[in-house]
Amino acid sequence: MDTPRADETLAAVVIGAGQAGLSASHHLARGGLLPWRDFVTLDANDGPGGAWRHRWDSLTLGRAHGVHDLPGLPLGTPDPNEPASRVVARYYGDYERAFDLPVLRPAKVTGVESRADGPLEVAAGARRWRTRTLINATGTWDRPFWPPYPGRASFAGRQLHTRDFTAASEFAGLRVVVVGAGASAVQFLLQLDAAGASTTWVTRRPPEWVERPFDENWGRAVEERVRDRTERGLPPESVVAATGLALTPEYRDGIARGVLVSAGPMTAVTPGGVRLADGREVAADAILWATGFRHALDHLAGLGLREPGGGVRTVGVAAARDPRVFLVGYGASASTLGATRAGRAAARGVLAALRRG
């Protein structure tokens, strides 16, 4: 592996080696760019797997939202009872090796600047990379969202976010408030109940249970709805949040047993628990914030990509304010299926930009 010299200008730099970043890297190589000489992929993790490598062990492949094939190498049929973190880390690692993708890690990008002489400059640790184009595929895992409820700092018990969760057994015999209306919240509630915890589910709005199957056509329709927001420069709605919750037999049973029944919204956190909108106070030993994530784009702040509405307006997957920058895993491409397609689109955009000079 011969990494480019500091004084060389690359054709492209990819930031992130999750589903979107690996798809983009693969298509750059297929388009004729030489790994290591023409482009590199910078990944902040210690090993392959993207955000999946950090998921809790009880999230098995069979329970995970769809893990889609990367281009050119199918996932196959792994054991659905194996932790998704292990399956995906192994799959992504095999993929990197199969196509000799130029992934450097750990390489956490801290900033990107636009140089006066033309190229972009990417800072990662002590190293700086000059590049003609940039594909950002950093996802959301590094930016957990903690809602700013009054009194949150006063809570005397344990608070953790989705990204901090490891095992439900840690909460056996405890009173746990789970905040959030997404799939992770539902899975946590069922696991905590099975482990012997007493749970209360808090949601801002009633859970949106959906009886229709989550097929590819519906997924594309949801992506289109999210894409409309990003193309208007608004902060993107989560693709996962936009799909609702599949009403599976397991979830029906949880509703019937009262585990998956929301207590409604909360107004504040108290030292001993939470205060609900109806005035009730719920005592808690722990609060699990399954409240989602925001896109990790702080390292791009120096490029001035954001619109007055707070989001980054995109034309396809290109940033409207700087067409050298492509965003994948952002907005409509935040799902694994959308990320794979967006990676291909970004690579094509890079190749077209390079041809234009």
Span 196-234, pLDDT tens digits = 999 999 999 999 898 866 666 666 666 666 666 777 777
- Band the pLDDT of 2: cuts 50, 70, 90: low
Domain chopping of the chain, boundaries? 9-142+293-356, 152-208+244-289
Q: Domain 9-142+293-356 belongs to what architecture?
A: 3-Layer(bba) Sandwich (3.50)
38-86 residue pLDDT tens:
999 999 999 999 999 999 888 899 888 767 899 999 999 999 999 999 9
Which residue in the block uniquely carries the two structure tokens 């809790």? 56
Q: Is the dihedral of CA 111, 113, 119, 121 positive or negative?
A: negative
Structure tokens at 313: 């307006």
Cβ pair 87, 61 in contact under 8 A: yes
Q: How far apart are CA 252 and CA 160, in angstroms?
A: 27
Q: How far apart are CA 318 and CA 285, in angstroms?
A: 46
**pLDDT averaged over the chain?**
90
Q: Which fold has domain 152-208+244-289?
A: FAD/NAD(P)-binding domain (3.50.50)
Q: Is the pLDDT of residue 298 over 70?
A: yes
pTM for the whole structure: 0.88
CA nearest to 84, candidates 68, 101, 104:
68
